[in-house]
């Protein structure tokens, strides 16, 4: 039985990865999470009682604590998802992004390398550090073209610059120390358990509550959307079969303007919640995000060709599942709609 150390396992994507490992494999999972505003143990309620699941509330910037976790749990692999992840927050407060995404990644790499150096035999040969990153490190595209693994890094926001820095650290640890790493850069995820500060869950919940749907600028920025469980399956595949030192782009070939996304959500809600229709009348154009990247689009040929990965959901099936999940999981929604997050959203939008 393998032991996978997952950082950020109480977050949106991390919790999907943890649920898959517990439900679909016989691996043991150690979830290392600080539980910031974005970390939510409710997202793991369905697997938390498994004897193969362990939780460590630890900040990845705390070297001694991170070293203790490695000593005590003796993992076979690390999947590093812990991060500050929201672009708007990185604009209003970049320091936390530098701390967790850059300093935290460095602390984790050093703890993992020290631990790896202490191993021998098959345990050492099989060890892997999988760094989970974003396509935003590549910057912004014009009307044509795609991000490939060869695209030059040109991060534009404090968030993407901090993720680009962490990618470079991981690359350097491989090049300098021979540390066994794989890196993935994925497009925008959506799906259940997504914190409602990001576009899709925010629009679903605001529309349900008859609140304005804040569209930045003209709503013509393009994102490339992937259902979170498809991302989690890709991550598990790369961990198992990815070539050491390589990078894999992950995306579902699903480019949409923000207006197309919001209109699609409103159309599903008009059908499922007709009492609020037409939900699209709540669309409100607000001031654009500073430095707003125009278009992201992933060329996923490499992971498809080399590892045989294919997403299972289309944007239409995934979005419908997502809206249905938010409509039928009020406890989770109430849980995240209070406290620090709510204060932040009120300051941003006055809602």
Residues near ligand TYD (CB under 6 A): 87, 188, 198-199, 202, 214-216, 221, 223, 258, 289
Pick what 81 binds: ligand NAD, ligand TYD, none; C-beta below 5 to 8 Å, kind-dependent.
Answer: ligand NAD
Query: Interface with ligand NAD includes 10 (CB under 6 A)?
Result: yes
- H helix intervals, the chain: 12-24, 63-73, 87-92, 95-97, 105-118, 121-126, 158-177, 199-208, 228-241, 258-272, 301-307, 315-327, 330-336, 339-349
- Of 66, 163, 142, 165, the closest CA to residue 110 belongs to 66
Name the H helices within 43-135: 63-73, 87-92, 95-97, 105-118, 121-126
Given 30, 53, 90, 104, the residue binding ligand NAD (CB under 6 A): 104
Which of 30, 87, 109, 186 touches ligand NAD (CB under 6 A)? 186
**CB distance 249 to 184 below 8 Å:** yes
* 296 CB neighbour count, 10 Å cutoff: 23
The catalytic position among 115, 138, 159, 248 is 159
CB of 198 to ligand TYD, least distance (A): 3
Distance CA 79, CA 4 (A): 7
Q: Which of 20, 36, 156, 221 binds ligand NAD (CB under 6 A)?
A: 36
Q: Is 59 a binder of ligand NAD (CB under 6 A)?
A: yes
- CB of 297 closer than 8 Å to CB of 222: yes
Q: Which is nearer to ligand TYD, 188 or 249 (CB)?
A: 188
Rule CB under 6 A: is residue 111 a binding residue for ligand NAD? no
Interface with ligand NAD (CB under 6 A), residue from 12, 97, 116, 248: 12
Whether residue 26 lies in the annotated active site:
no
* Contact yes or no for 295/140 (Cβ under 8 A): yes
> How many Å apart are CA 257 and CA 296, to the nearest integer?
10
Find the part of the chain contacting ligand NAD (CB under 6 A) among 113-121, 188-196, 200-208, 303-311.
Answer: 188-196
Query: What is the DSSP code (8-state) at residue 135?
Result: G
Q: Which is nearer to ligand TYD, 37 or 127 (CB)?
A: 37
Cα–Cα dist 185/248, whole Å:
6
Nearer residue to ligand NAD within complex by CB, 107 or 282: 107
By CB under 6 A, tell whether 100 contacts ligand NAD: yes
Helix (H) or strand (E) holding 213: strand 213-216
Of ligand NAD, ligand TYD, none, which one sits near residue 5, judging by CB under 5 to 8 A according to partner kind?
none
Q: Which residue in 97, 138, 147, 195 binds ligand NAD (CB under 6 A)? A: 195
Using the structure block, give the residue that is written with the tokens 């490499």.
302
- Of 229, 192, 206, 228, nearest to 332 (Cα)? 192
Residue 136 annotated in active site: yes
**For ligand NAD, which is the closer residue by CB, 7 or 254?**
7
Nearer to ligand NAD, 28 or 80 (CB): 80
Contact of residue 252 among ligand NAD, ligand TYD, none (CB under 5-8 Å per partner type): none
In 3D, which of 167, 107, 119 has the Cα closest to residue 3? Answer: 119
Phi and psi for 273 in degrees, rounded to 5? -130, 65
Partnered with residue 77 across adjacent β-strands are: 4, 128
CB of 227 to ligand NAD, least distance (A): 11
Helices 63-73 and 105-118 meet at what angle, rounded to 10?
A: 40
270 is annotated as an active-site residue: no
- From ligand NAD, ligand TYD, none, which one binds at residue 61 (CB under 5 to 8 Å depending on kind)? ligand NAD
Write out the residues near ligand NAD by the rule CB under 6 A: 7-8, 10-14, 33-36, 38-39, 59-61, 81-85, 100, 104, 132-134, 163, 186, 188-189, 195
């Amino acid at each position: 039985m393998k032991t996978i150390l997952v950082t950020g396992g109480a977050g949106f994507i991390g919790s999907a990865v943890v649920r898959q490992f517990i439900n679909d494999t016989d691996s043991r999972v150690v979830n290392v999470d600080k539980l910031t505003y974005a970390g939510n143990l409710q997202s793991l309620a369905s697997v938390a009682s498994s004897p193969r699941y362990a939780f460590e509330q630890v900040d990845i910037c705390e070297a001694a604590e991170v070293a203790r976790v490695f000593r005590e749990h003796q993992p076979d692999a690390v999947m590093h998802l812990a991060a500050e992840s929201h672009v708007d927050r990185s604009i209003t407060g970049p320091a936390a992004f530098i701390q967790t995404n850059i300093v935290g990644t460095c602390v984790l790499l050093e703890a993992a390398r020290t631990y790896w150096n202490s191993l021998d035999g098959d345990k050492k040969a099989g060890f892997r550090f999988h760094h989970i990153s974003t396509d935003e490190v590549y910057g912004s595209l014009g009307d044509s073209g795609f991000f490939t693994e060869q695209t030059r890094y040109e991060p534009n926001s404090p968030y993407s610059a901090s993720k680009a820095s962490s990618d470079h650290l991981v690359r350097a640890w491989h090049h300098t120390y021979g540390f066994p790493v794989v890196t993935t850069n994925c497009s925008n995820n959506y799906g259940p358990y997504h914190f409602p500060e990001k576009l899709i869950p925010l629009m679903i919940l605001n529309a349900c509550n008859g609140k304005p749907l804040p569209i930045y600028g003209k709503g013509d920025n393009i994102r490339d959307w992937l259902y979170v469980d498809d991302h989690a399956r890709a991550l598990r595949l790369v961990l198992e079969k990815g070539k050491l030192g390589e990078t894999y782009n992950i995306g579902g070939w699903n480019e949409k303007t923000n207006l197309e996304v919001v209109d699609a959500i409103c159309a599903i809600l008009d059908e499922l919640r007709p009492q609020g229709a037409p939900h699209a009348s709540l669309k409100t154009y607000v001031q654009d995000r500073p430095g707003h990247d125009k278009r992201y689009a992933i060329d996923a040929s490499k992971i498809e060709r080399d590892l045989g990965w294919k997403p299972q959901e289309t944007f239409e099936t995934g979005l419908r599942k997502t809206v249905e999940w938010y409509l039928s999981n009020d406890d989770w929604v109430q849980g995240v709609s209070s406290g620090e997050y709510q204060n932040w959203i009120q300051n941003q939008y006055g809602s």
